[in-house]
């Protein structure tokens, strides 16, 4: 017996508790999957923007990090340098966490499509389209 796409109001998605039997439940599941796909595309754009903003903000000369430097530090600027490094570390760590979320959501979407339920598949595709449409123009905005 072969697997193929079917139209059905019954599916079990990802977890045992996510069991759908009715058209209402299916509609809700499609909406959830759609939002998941929108989130996935947004995270991709968000990661790139965060990286850009972090690089921009950390290439500012340390004398202009006004919220961190003291006004009376005449000669030494070593505290701002180490604070910059620390900020960069936290920023990069945050990026890595976002990356994990992106990877997991990507796999969840793959597994959802693997249910071979056509409504769910449409939800993933539509969500990817909407997410891409809304998020990608934000890349060129500074």
Partner 1 sequence: MDHSHHKEISHMAHNTTVPSHHHHPTTSASHSHSHGGGMGDMMMHMTFYFGFKNVELLFSGLVINTAGEMAGAFVAVFLLAMFYEGLKIARESLLRKSQVSIRYNSMPVPGPNGTILMETHKTVGQQMLSFPHLLQTVLHIIQVVISYFLMLIFMTYNGYLCIAVAAGAGTGYFLFSWKKAVVVDITEHCH
Task: List interacting residues with partner 1 (CB under 8 A).
Answer: 1-4, 6-12, 14-16, 18-21, 44-45, 47-48, 51-52, 54-55, 92-93, 95-97, 99-100, 102-104, 106-107, 109-111, 113-116, 136, 139
Comparing CB distances to partner 1, the nearer of 80 and 124 is 124
Q: How far is the CB of 139 from partner 1 (least distance, A)?
A: 5
Residues 16/50, Cβ–Cβ less than 8 Å = no
- Is the CB of 6 or the CB of 31 nearer to partner 1? 6
Element (H, E) at 20: strand 19-20
CB of 72 to partner 1, least distance (A): 31
CA distances to 38, 80, 89, 116 from 67, rounded to whole Å, are 36, 10, 19, 54
The answer to whether residues 142 and 53 touch, using CB atoms and an 8 Å cutoff, is no
CB of 24 to partner 1, least distance (A): 16
The first and second tokens of residue 18, run together, are: 């996510």
Query: Residue 3 or residue 74: which is nearer to partner 1 going by CB?
Result: 3
Question: Between 44 and 80, whose beta carbon lies closer to partner 1?
Answer: 44
d(CA 7, CA 118): 5
Do the beta carbons of residue 31 and residue 124 sit within 8 Å?
no
Q: Compute the least distance from the CB of residue 31 to partner 1, in Å.
A: 20
């Amino acid at each position: 017996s072969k697997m193929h796409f079917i139209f059905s109001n019954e599916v079990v998605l990802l977890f045992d508790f996510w069991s759908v039997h009715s058209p209402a439940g299916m509609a809700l599941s499609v909406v959830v999957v759609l939002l998941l796909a929108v989130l996935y595309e947004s995270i991709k754009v968000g990661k790139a923007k965060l990286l850009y903003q972090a690089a921009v903000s950390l290439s500012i000369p340390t004398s202009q990090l006004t919220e961190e430097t003291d006004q009376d530090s005449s000669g030494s600027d070593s505290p701002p340098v180490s604070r910059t490094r620390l900020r960069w570390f936290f920023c990069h760590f945050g990026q890595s966490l976002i990356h994990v979320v992106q990877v997991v959501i990507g796999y969840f979407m793959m597994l959802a499509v693997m249910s071979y339920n056509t409504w769910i598949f449409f939800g993933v595709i539509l969500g990817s389209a909407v997410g891409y449409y809304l998020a990608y123009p934000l890349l060129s905005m500074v």
